[in-house]
Amino acid sequence: MCLIVFAWRPGHAQPLVLAANRDEFYDRPSLPLGPWEDAPQVLAGRDLEAGGSWLGLGGGGRFAALTNIRDPRQPPFGRSRGELVAEFLRGELSPAAYLDDLMQRAGNYAGFNLLLGDNDGLWFFNSREGQVRLLEPGIYGLSNATLDTPWPKLDKAKEALAEVLAEPDPESLFAILTDPQRPPDNSLPDTGIGLASEQLLSSVFIASRTYGTRACSALITQGDGRRLLVERSFGPYGGHLGEVRIED
């Protein structure tokens, strides 16, 4: 998962409105959004290479989403970061308790951002910063640095989310997520991957032959606990592969 924008509004009729893109190599095998055979309470897509996920729902109002921290200097790690999403959604620990435990072993994984929620709150953890944050109401954005790092595509997506919050629906969120426009080169971050790669990754929606946006997810929660999660899947060059809609 490489871009998440969301509005957190405790007490509102729709407390969490979230739009997220998962960017990955197209040849990495995965399953689309759905209940897991070995954990039916988990509603999520699944990475078939390592068994984890990038975004999903669990019982008791549980929610989790993950992005990687982009850093070509970090060494390879044996453990998949996607297992953190799966672990939380399968479990019974509160977000605060889970993150308290995770802080002691975060060094076992390459850099990551983890967003966790339940019916009582929304929490954020960046493994490089090492601090757990209980989020205040607001509009937030997360890509491959830390929360609200002002990358052009993230600022653009946050502004677009603010414009649809009066009456959010999946279509308006997908319109944000499928924006292919690239910003000017002089506004791009320098994350050590070279200009050509920065350009490819600079748009909200990424499409190429081998790597791009594999899934767009729109999540709208209701104050009474109902949740709507819609996922659209894509293949090489942005070809649309299908849609899954779950009302929980």
What sign for the dihedral angle of Cα 9, 69, 3, 163? positive
CA distance 156 to 203: 10
Q: Which domain holds residue 75?
A: 3-247
What confidence score (pLDDT) does residue 248 get? 87
- Give one DSSP letter per residue of 193-215, joined into a string: S-HHHHHHTTSSS---SSEEEEE
pLDDT at residue 2 greater than cutoff 80: yes
Instruction: State how many domains the chain has.
Output: 1
DSSP 51: S
- What average pLDDT does this structure show over 13-22? 98
Asked if residues 192 and 41 have their Cβ atoms less than 8 Å apart, the reply is no
pLDDT digits (tens, 9 = 90+) for 30-71: 999 999 999 999 999 999 999 999 999 999 999 999 999 999
Backbone angles phi, psi at 26, to 5 degrees: -65, -25
* Residues of the chain above pLDDT 70, percent: 100
pLDDT digits (tens, 9 = 90+) for 215-235: 999 999 999 999 999 999 999
pLDDT at residue 177 greater than cutoff 90: yes
pLDDT digits (tens, 9 = 90+) for 120-141: 999 999 999 999 999 999 999 9
Count CB neighbours of 24 within 10 A: 20
Element (H, E) at 90: helix 82-90
pLDDT digits (tens, 9 = 90+) for 47-58: 999 999 999 999
Long-range contacts of 224-228 (CB under 8 A, 24+ apart): 225/61, 225/119, 227/57, 227/61, 228/170
What confidence score (pLDDT) does residue 73 get? 86
Domain of residue 78, CATH code:
3.60.60.10
